[in-house]
Amino acid sequence: MPELPEVETTKSGIAPHVVSDRVTEIIIRQSQLRWPITDNLATILTGQTLTHIERWAKYLLLHFQGADSGVLMIHLGMSGSLCIAESGSEPGKHSHVDICFAKGTVLRYTDPRRFGCILWLGAQPHEHKLLKALGPEPLSDAFSGAYLKQLAGNKSQAVKQFIMDQKVVTGVGNIYATEALFAAGIHPKRMAKSISLTRYDSLTQHIKTILSNAIAQGGTTLKDFVGGDGKPGYFKQELLAYGRKGDPCVQCQTPLQEIKLGNRATVFCQKCQS
DNA sequence: ATTCTACCCTGCAAGC
DNA sequence: TGCTTGCAGGGTAGAA
């Protein structure tokens, strides 16, 4: 479900309720996620204090301090969410993990499709291979048109797949890639190497603007995404291309087309994007 | 080295 | 009404 704005929304929704609190209990109802949850997670975390939460790409890094200080990494996959629950409240069908805190708050991980993961990275989280290979944050200065142009080099890969590659830039998924290419007037299938620096400048600016707006709106709720505070995201009403196959283009009224690119639905305007 | 593809899993909507 | 099919916000491993 979540791309960068949704993960950011989750982080800011849950952090005020759990940061600085001490873990009293871990309940694992289902350990088989993308990778299995280590079976000694309760031993590791119980008694430790959650000092802060960091978002890195689409990962949430929960920093714990105590007898076995380190980082718990959580990815929400396609359908995952984290919410704050009351101690003793009834878990849903796919509520796989509860992290219970001393003040009575429960941080609850729910993920119907189980594409997410919960991994204990220990004290050297940045050395983990899943984090090491990641590209720059899209909202950082390191992410620029010049950077993209340089990295595109001689790649014949479609630009949409290029910018969705987390090694190129983190946090951009199918929705925001679709939207940014529409906004920049770039055909999603165009080869990465064939795009000018000027157009990459435009593309990076649109990615930054769209992601910032989405964060400000609390993310995009398509089905049941809710932030940590239980409120839905309001960005969906601002989507101009994603999910609008057949609808008239907002600029030229031409019906939007849908193609498959790397098995992902890709909507674009044949007239405005080249 | 890059670039596809198949797959992990459940739920939902559309079509018959 | 009920079954089948395809599709979904992600990312990896392994094949081409």
Q: What DSSP letter does each residue of A13-80 carry, written as one string?
A: HHHHHHTT-BEEEEEES--BSSSBPPTTHHHHHTT-EEEEEEEETTEEEEEEESTT-EEEEEE-TTT-
CB atoms within 10 A of CB A141: 8
Closest-CA residue to A44 (of A7, A61, A69): A69
In the three-class reduction of DSSP (H, G, I as helix; E, B as strand; rest coil), residue A230 is classed as coil
In this model, does residue A221 exceed pLDDT 80? no
Q: Is the CB of A267 under 7 A from strand C?
A: no
Whether residue A168 has pLDDT greater than 60: yes
For residue A218, the model assigns a pLDDT of 83
A61 touches strand C (CB under 7 A): no
What is the reported pLDDT for A64? 98
User: Integer distance in angstroms from CA A13 to C1' C15?
Assistant: 42
A165: nearest nucleotide, CA–C1' criterion: C11
CA–C1' gap, A179 and C8, in angstroms: 17
pTM over 0.85: yes
**Residues of A recognised as catalytic:** 2-3, 58, 264
Q: Is the CB of A111 under 7 A from strand C?
A: no
Confidence of residue A86 (pLDDT cuts 50, 70, 90): confident
